[in-house]
Structure formats: C-alpha cells, structure tokens
Structure 1
Amino acid sequence: MWLLIRHADGLVKSLYAQRELGKLTGELVIKSQKFKKYATLFCLAFCQSMEHDCSARRRCERILRRAGAYNVLHKYEDGGVESDARRKITVSVFKDLDYREITEPSDILAIAANVCSYNTRILVPKIAKDQAMSLSLGILTLCMSNGEMIKTDSEETALSKRIFDFLEDQSMSIGPPLQYGALTFIKHCRVPVSRLSAAGIHTEGILWKLSDVIRPDRLRQSLLFQDKDLNQNNIFRNGLDDYQRHRMFDLLEVLNQRNKKRYQRLANNLRAYLNGNESPVGSDDWPSKYCMDMMAACIVNAIDSKKYLQLARPIGGLPKGGRGVPYRAIFTRDRDELRHSGPTYIFTSWSRTKERKQEASQYRSLAKYVSVEVSINTTNGLARLKNRKWANGLCFFDGEANHPFVFEWPDSLCR
C-alpha cells in the first residue's frame, strides 16, 4: 500500500527526493511499510533525546501504538531477542487494538485475525461495551484455536486481570534459533490445533526422548571464519554458508565415530541433508528445508559457544515407546539443562502453508512450527502435555507418523 501525503505547493523536490518520495505534484508518495519503519525509528530516537519531556513522550507513544513497526520496536525498544520481547507479538497486536477504542468491540476479533494471519476465525454477534467478559472469552478462544503458545507448566496467573494482561503473562517465551529475523520466526511458532475441549488443546506431532550427549570438547575447534551477520533472510535465500556446512560435517564425523546402530540413521540423515539440493515448495512461505537450515545454523552457533548437544529418538505417542529406535534429532542444551532429573521429552510439530475456505471467504494459513520441552501425564492411553520451555534442534522426521496429544490448560483456567 502507498501513502499520499500532501505538501506545500511551493516545495520543489530534488532528484533524490523524487526517487524516494515520488514525482507526483503536491504529494509525497511513500510505501506504508517504509513510513511505519521510519516513523517508529524517529519516535524512539525522539523519546530517547527528550526523555524528560513527558508530554513529548506521550505523543510519541500514541503514534507508536497506532503506526509502530513491531520488528523495529522488537529490535530497539525491547532490547532485542534476549529480553521479554521473545514473547508472542500477538499480545502487542491485541493491546494496540484495545488502545484504539474501536467503536464495535467485537471487530477486534476480525481485525486481529487478519493481522495475525489466523485461519480459524471466531464469528460472534455484536458485543455491548459492558459485556467485557464475552469479548475476553472470544479473544481467548481465538488465540487458542489458532495455536498460540501459552505457558501450562508455570506459576498460577490470576484470572482477575484483563484478558490482554492475562495473555501477556501466559504467553510462552520463544527462543529463536537466530537473533536476526526473530519476529518472523516467532510469528510461525504455533501449534496446529485440531479441536479444543475441557481437557485442553488437541494437536498432533512427534514426541522425542533425549538421550546421549555430545560434549563440546568432542568437536574440534575450527580456524575458519564465521559470518556473524548471517540472518534468517540469508538462510532463506542461500541456505547454510560454507563455514556452517564445514561445522556440520565436523558433527557428522563425530556421529560416524560412534559405530552403534542407533547413531547411523541420524548420521545418514545428516549426510543426505548436507548433500541435498531440495527446492522450496513455491506456495509455501515456510518450507521444511528453510526451517532445517535455521536449526542447523543454531547448532553451529551452539558448537562455537561450547554448548552441549543431545541426541533424541522419536518414541511414538506414549513416553514408554521408542525402545531400540535409532536417533533422528539433535538438540542444543545448556549444562544446567542436563542436570534435570528424570527423562526429558520434547514435542515438535510442523505443518505447511494451507489455503482454507470459510463461508464466503478464503484464508491462507501460515506454516506452523513448534519445538518445546514438555512434561507428560498419561490418561486413558493419551499423552497430556505441559509446556516447560522452548527447545531448538535439528529433527529428521521424514517418514515419522504424527500422534495425537493434548496440551493441558493452565491451572488458572481450570478453576
């Protein structure tokens, strides 16, 4: 979308200004995306230089709530990927829509669904302004139906808070595999939901049990140069760079040194992946190779940071399964995480971009990817999961069957 901004008749644009702002007489012509980016940068810089001017700060905050670019805010205002900005951007969308005091409150559901690229929509009748509970339930249902990640294994969160504050508290922190382009990754971190029930959020995926550890000292140090500026856009266009491929072949060598059968399937998968030239699916905005490349880059970063790697095997739909199954995944782990007592399980799920029709409308749902460490309870032969934290790893799940699981509701929603 292009914006036309009227300017004074006597203003003469230079050649540079014409290239950036168009040649239309009496109007500045600018892409809305670029306008939001630079308006956001200006407001953030202005607030920093005028931090003691409360009135100026309030004006800038109003602009940012209405025209702020979330990726710029994420990078500069919230301290980047290492802060609470890792929480889902969805919460910011809902809070900003609430700030605008939309005339018809129920319109928030439709607007948010469009902004967040939801494929499941909640159609509700008009909600009176004093029916906040009905709107809150609609917002909660919309988020859960579209697989937004919430904390289910955490301290109790009071339901007495407004729905926006509740979602902010319960929103699960996502650890993107790469720092640059984190918001794009977080946008796709959703569980594919088959249905909601009193038991929780029903989904399908693969359950992994972590086992053997590869210590940092098992991988030789490399004297090659790593491109520190590589980001997700580079990965999407070009895949892994030469340095990253070199380090992944070092990891392959370590796997080949372990002659037991349970390592060879993973070694073969990794070799085929590094030697493959898979082309992304044209209509898919999140092809599987792209996701694997990002996770491989994350593993390289972990190797260079002298973190531990832990191998995992798919175990079917129940925690007691998977005996004798060879390894098919590699996850990055911190030393403290390895001290966790008892078995460790990770749930993963990935789905392609899909086109869906609902009544007279057609929606293009985003590809979804989830990789979370979970705790497990088994009831009536069905594994019930609780989120613990995000986990990054390279998984080879080609040929592995998805199994049904249920993510339990937070305790505060069960009272």
Structure 2
Amino acid sequence: MPPTDWPLVLGDDGSSSLSKIARQQDNSIVPLLVDIQSNSATTQSRVLSFLENLECLRFPRRPNGQKASAIRVSRERINAFQLRQYVALSYTCTASKSEDETAGLYHVQERVGQEFEPSRVRNSILGRIFNYMRTIYVDLLWIDQHGIIQDTNGCKRPKFDHEACIQKREGMEVMDLVYKFSNHPVGLLGRPITSAQELELLANLLQRKLTSGTGAYIQLSRNRNPEEAWTALEMLHRITKDDWWHRGWIFQENYKGGIKMNLLIKHSEKLEDLKRFYRRNMRSPYGSPIFGNIDGELCIRSVDFLEEATRLCLACRKAIVRHHIPSNPGMRERETAVERILQTVGKYTLVLKPSEPMTPRIVADIEKRQMKDHWDRLAITANCCQYSTRLNVRQLMQDNASLSLAMLALCLLNGEVLHNGCPANPRASEMTVSEFLIESLFDEFNSPSNQHSLTFNRSCRFFDVSLTNYGIETRGHMWKIHKIIDTCEWPPQGAWVKDLSGMLEPSQRKQLAYFARHLAMAGHTSLSKSVKEYLERDTGLARIPNSNLSFTDRYMHTMASEVANAIARASPLGLGCLWTPDECVGYKPYMAVFILEDGGTPSQTSDMSGESDESDDVEVFAFTASRPEDCSSEEYDSNDLDRHVSFEVEVEGVVGNTDGLIPQLRIRRWLPGLCFFSRVSRAHVVFSWPRDLESISP
C-alpha cells in the first residue's frame, strides 16, 4: 500500500518520475497501464446536437447617438455545421494587470424566456470583441460563459447524470469543434503595446525583416543591426508572458482555431496613426497587410505570430551558440528567454524534425499550461491529438490512479507507437511521462515528398489497440519478404505506356509499367497483374475530385507514387507475401512490394547476386495496417482520423490469445510499401513493451 502521508487521490504528478509513480502506486508500470485500460477506457462519442443548436449572442444594436447604462444582448441558436459566420472568443477569465475587472454593462438574455441579466464577463472583453465584430461585419458571437451552462446547481452526483451536468459535459466535449468550425476564432491578449518602438519591432518581426533563410539555415538578418533582434526578443518575452498563452483550455482553442485564429492586442491611442501607416505600406511574407484595421487593436494571425516568433528564437539561439561566453550573464538571460518563448509559442513545423510525431510536444506543452483541474489535460490532449478513445476521469480519480500514467495509457490506446526495438535506456525510470514520450515514441517516420510531414506522421497510428501484459496488441497484416530486386540497371525512362493520363505523373506510370513487366517475366504473375490493374484504376481516378476519393484510393496512390519514385532512384525493392506464425511450407504469391532504400539490413545485402537482379533466401518481416476514420454515426462524433503504419519488424516469438498464437514483434524501422489484398482479414499481433518500461517496478 502507498505510504500514509500520500493523498488518497493523487493530484498532478506530472513532475514525478516513472520509478516514483511505481512506488506511489505500489505496482510495476505495465500492470498499472493495463489496469487503467481495464477500468476506464471508453470509445469517444461526442453528441453533435450541441453544435446543431449552438447558442450565440447577437451583436447589440444601440439607437443612434444614445448611450445606455445597460446594453442588451440577445441570444440566437445556429447550426454550426451550416452557418460558420460567427466569432468564437478565446480569453482569460481573470483580468490582467492592464485590464479593468468591471462587469455588468452588458445584459444578456436568459436561456429561457425574455429576461436579461448582467453578464459576469468583463465589460472590456465584450467591448473589445463587439468592436472587432462591428469592423468585420459579423453579428454572432460564441463565448463559453454564455454558450455553455455554467450553473449546475451545486450538483455532486457521482454519475454526472443531472440534466444541467449532462448539457455542460456535452458542451465541454465538443468545445474544440466550436473553434474549429468558426470562420472567425479570436484570442484577446491582455497586455497592450504602448510604445512606438514596440510597434515598429513587431512590424519588422511580422515582415520577416529580422531573420533570413529557411529550415536549418534560419539566421539573423545580415541587413539589420543585431541589437534590433535582441530588443525584439525582449519584446516577445513580454508579449508571451501574457496569461492567454499559459492556460490549458486556451491552448486547445488556439490549436483548433488553426490558420483562422486571429490575435487582438490592444495599443495606446497615440499609436493609431502609426499602425494604419504600417497597414497601408507593409506586408507580411505572405502578401497580406499587417495589423488589421480594428480601432485600438492590433489584429495578427496567430500562425503568423508563431512562425515569426519561432524564426527569431531559432536565429537567436544559433547566434548565442556561435558567440556564447559562459561568464556573460546577459547572454545566459537571452538563452533562457529564447527557450521560454519557444516552449510557449514554438511552431511545430519549425521546431520538430520531419520524421517526428507531434504528440510528445503537444503533451508537454499542455502539461506546462495552467488549469483549474489538472485532469482536464486528458480531454484537451484527446481533442488536440484527435483521439477516439477516452478515459473515464471520475473512475480514475476514485481508483487513485496516476494522472501521468493515465496520459501515457491514453496515448497508447489511441495508437501512438512506442519504438520498442531500441536498446533499453538506463535513464528511463527517472524520466517523467512527458519526457518518456519524447524519448520513446517512434520518431523515424518518412513522409512522402508530396505531403506535409507532420500531417502524415499524425496518422501513423495503430488501431483496435489493447494493452496487455505482453505488450500492445493491435491488428494488421504480416508480410514475409523473400526476394529483393535490384533496380540499378533498369531503364531510367521506364516502359512505354499506352495511356499516360492518371493521378500518377506520366513518369511514375512508366516506372510502374516497367516494374509490372519485370514481374511478369520473372514469373510473379499475381503481383504483376495487381500493378497493371492499379494503373488502369489510376486512369479512372484522375476524373474524380480528390476530396471525393476514398481513404483507400488516396493511400494507395501515395504508396504507388513512392514505389515509382524509388524505382527512379534505383532503390532496391522487396517482394512480400502474407505470413502467419503457423504457416505451412508451400507456395504463396507475392502481394506487396516494399522500398528498401539501404538495400536491407547488412545480413541481406550479401545475398544480392551480381549475376541477377533478384536474390532469394532473405527473411525480412514487415507489418502494415491501414484504416479510414470512423464516420459511422451522424449523431455522434468519434473524433477519429485515418490511420496507417508500415514497419520492418523482428519476430521475437509468439504469444497466445483467444485467436490462437499471435506474433510478438519489435520495430526495426519505417518501411513504406504498396500492398495488394482484398478480403484478407487482419491478423492480431502484439508489439512487446519497450524493455526499459517493462523493467520499472516499485
């Protein structure tokens, strides 16, 4: 049992190491994860009727020239699936030092009836957002204080079945979609811009005058005084100290608002003319005017601010490394400021490698944010990462479960992939869960050249996951690669093709046509036929809008493009057939082709014949799985996404389950491939626990 000085219900243990959590829970980490799944995992089914009856406030109209002691604001219900011309407001409930806390000027219509009551929302908040709405000609506002039931009459029922509680829960569960659907999500920052110098620095930052280069070559601009960059860094440090950046639910609102989210920053009245001068004469790197035309406000796209702030920080970090003087306290302060700003507003496309998943960074960023109830982290993470499996928080709290382990279980149950083929990390037991996710989630994805890497990586997840004492059980197809083909001597132009039209590029169709011909000549008629049939289908798919294509068609096109490009690079290819642990010796047709960029593992390259472009007697295993998102219900939102994985694996052994013997696997590397199978059911497999996680005990 845990020591008596520990609380009955564990609170925020985000800073606790895995070994400490094991001691607190008096159990090993793996059984604890299995218990969390057994007791609290549930399929997400968010009620969409909340969005079909979204409660908004209508922009108040005052009689001309009249001032009122109370401004009346009426309610209006809309269907957010059909009408998205509304402002979704993101703000802090507590006032900053620069804000007036007074409330009561605006009287809002009650949910039932025609009576109006003073709003608890600060006058300054409603005044600013109505000023914004007046300028952009939008009449409807959604704000959580009035759009979600706040008063649950002190309900403390453990089943959460009080009508007001149910309505509040349903609203909270889909609140991320309110911001995603809105055409005008807006965040109100509290700290104002008060000086012309700050405004000029912000203008230069947003115009990308302080940095140059892209990717790994981002650096401070050589055309500007370096001191201007350091002064801009100090300004960013002040802006990102605003409470708005440090709230958990606001992180979700900004994340889901995406490219449509605008930030409003107040400025002093004396800066109005200068702001409008910048708007008329200056443009962002994307050609849009900076700062907007809202009286008294700077209007900045959130993604633009994140991008330029991140670029400046990365450039400053590089300059600090180049000129670092350990004994210089000013340099150390700048270094600290850079890292703090990046932790607050770092743009994932710039701070993450193309091969990395976003999940560890999202989990860590949410963990740093402030929230009234730490257990809300689970819901926020699930919404931002698009998780369809949720955990019952009340049950977890009653079970005295670890919040950090619940977060780890949530990630794994939703298909996040642990790189279990890596050597054990001796430091793992002293890591927090967020640190463990950064170190241990698979981070060697290789996205197709025509897709955004982080978007592709986001869908690289298992499905139908179950946590067991043996490992992470899932379903997919197992392949055994028996033959490696050397494409070095193949003609670079491919083969003649009668019809070049299709979704694939003409050069890609020629490469695949030659591949099909080679397979036929080598006697691999089944796979050759599949490739030819795919080329015929590709011609027809070109006439279908991309948005109407099925997940299968889109994914097959992506993989076919990758195989064609690999042939153009003269990369070796591996031919695979379906495999099961209890297979009998006998003929199985090849049904898949995999891209072996490095020629396979060292033990296989020696098998490649110098006299032939094919080699036999290799034994490489692969696991693939793909499934479209669950869109089975019109009433409920599963919060799912398309999923696909393709790994080279090591078969470590077999374990038994209700379906018989299933292979126990460890991941070797990412292994993209094009697979042809129809009406072949998925098989159960289990990915062993990472050795370091498995060994953590009290």
Paired AA for residue 28 in structure 1: L
The residue aligned with 2:404 is 136
The 1:369–1:66 alpha-carbon spacing in structure 2 relative to 1, beyond 3 Å, is same
User: How far apart are the structure 2 equivalents of 1:50 and 1:198?
Assistant: 47
Residue by residue over 1:103-157, the C-alpha shift from the partner in whole angstroms, topping out at 9 and shown as x without a partner, is: 53322222211111111122324999xx9x8122112101110111112233223
The residue aligned with 1:39 is 309
2:384 aligned with 1:124: no
Residue by residue over 1:135-180, the C-alpha shift from the partner in whole angstroms, topping out at 9 and shown as x without a partner, is: 2211210111011111223322332322122222221133324256
The residue aligned with 2:273 is 10
Task: Specify the SS of the correspondent of 2:391.
Answer: coil
Paired AA for residue 60 in structure 1: V
Residue by residue over 1:56-80, the C-alpha shift from the partner in whole angstroms, topping out at 9 and shown as x without a partner, is: 2322222221222101223xxxxx4
User: How far apart are the structure 1 equivalents of 2:533 and 2:310?
Assistant: 45
* Contact 1:204 1:405 (8 Å CA) reproduced: yes
User: How far apart are the structure 2 equivalents of 1:143 and 1:6?
Assistant: 39
Instruction: Say which of 54, 79, 103 aligns to 2:332.
Output: 54
2:579 aligned with 1:308: no
2:209 aligned with 1:209: no
User: How far apart are the structure 1 equivalents of 2:382 and 2:554?
Assistant: 25
Residue by residue over 1:371-396, the C-alpha shift from the partner in whole angstroms, topping out at 9 and shown as x without a partner, is: 11122222332222222221111112
* Contact 1:194 1:203 (8 Å CA) reproduced: yes
2:595 aligned with 1:347: no
Runs of 4+ in structure 1 over 4 Å off: 16-19, 125-128, 278-284
Mean Cα deviation higher: 295-304 or 182-191? 295-304
The residue aligned with 1:291 is 555
Report 1:95-106 matches (<5 A): 95-100=364-369, 102=371, 104-106=373-375
* Contact 2:503 2:541 (8 Å CA) reproduced: no
Task: Specify the SS of the correspondent of 1:364.
Answer: coil
The residue aligned with 1:63 is 341
The residue aligned with 1:328 is 591
User: How far apart are the structure 1 equivalents of 2:540 and 2:408?
Assistant: 42
2:689 aligned with 1:406: no
Alignment RMSD (CA, Å): 3.2
**CA drift at 1:408:** 2.1
Q: What's the TM-score once normalised by structure 1's chain length? A: 0.82
* Contact 1:371 1:390 (8 Å CA) reproduced: yes
Paired AA for residue 280 in structure 2: L
* Contact 1:106 1:126 (8 Å CA) reproduced: no
Report 1:226-375 matches (<5 A): 239-277=503-541, 279=544, 282=547, 287-315=551-579, 317-318=580-581, 320=583, 323-333=586-596, 334-337=598-601, 339-340=603-604, 343-355=619-631, 362-375=637-650
Residue by residue over 1:14-51, the C-alpha shift from the partner in whole angstroms, topping out at 9 and shown as x without a partner, is: 43558523332232323322332222223222333454
Unpaired runs of 5+ in structure 1?
75-79, 225-237
* Contact 1:104 1:127 (8 Å CA) reproduced: no
**CA drift at 1:342:** 5.9
The residue aligned with 2:666 is 386
* Contact 1:265 1:327 (8 Å CA) reproduced: no
Larger radius of gyration: 2
Report 1:180-195 matches (<5 A): 181-195=452-466
**CA drift at 1:366:** 1.1
User: How far apart are the structure 1 equivalents of 2:372 and 2:409?
Assistant: 21
**CA drift at 1:313:** 1.4
2:431 aligned with 1:161: yes
2:91 aligned with 1:91: no
The 1:250–1:260 alpha-carbon spacing in structure 2 relative to 1, beyond 3 Å, is closer
Mean Cα deviation higher: 348-357 or 13-22? 13-22
* Contact 1:255 1:267 (8 Å CA) reproduced: no
Residue by residue over 1:233-276, the C-alpha shift from the partner in whole angstroms, topping out at 9 and shown as x without a partner, is: xxxxx943233233222322322322344444434444334434
* Contact 1:346 1:391 (8 Å CA) reproduced: yes
Mean Cα deviation higher: 140-149 or 289-298? 289-298
Instruction: Say which of 216, 221, 226 aligns to 2:492.
Output: 221
User: How far apart are the structure 2 equivalents of 1:395 and 1:223?
Assistant: 21
Paired AA for residue 364 in structure 1: N
2:436 aligned with 1:171: no
**CA drift at 1:361:** 7.3
User: How far apart are the structure 2 equivalents of 1:343 and 1:206?
Assistant: 16
* Contact 1:89 1:183 (8 Å CA) reproduced: yes
* Contact 2:623 2:649 (8 Å CA) reproduced: yes
**How many positions carry a matched residue from both structures?**
386
Paired AA for residue 389 in structure 2: T
The 1:261–1:239 alpha-carbon spacing in structure 2 relative to 1, beyond 3 Å, is closer
Mean Cα deviation higher: 91-100 or 274-283? 274-283
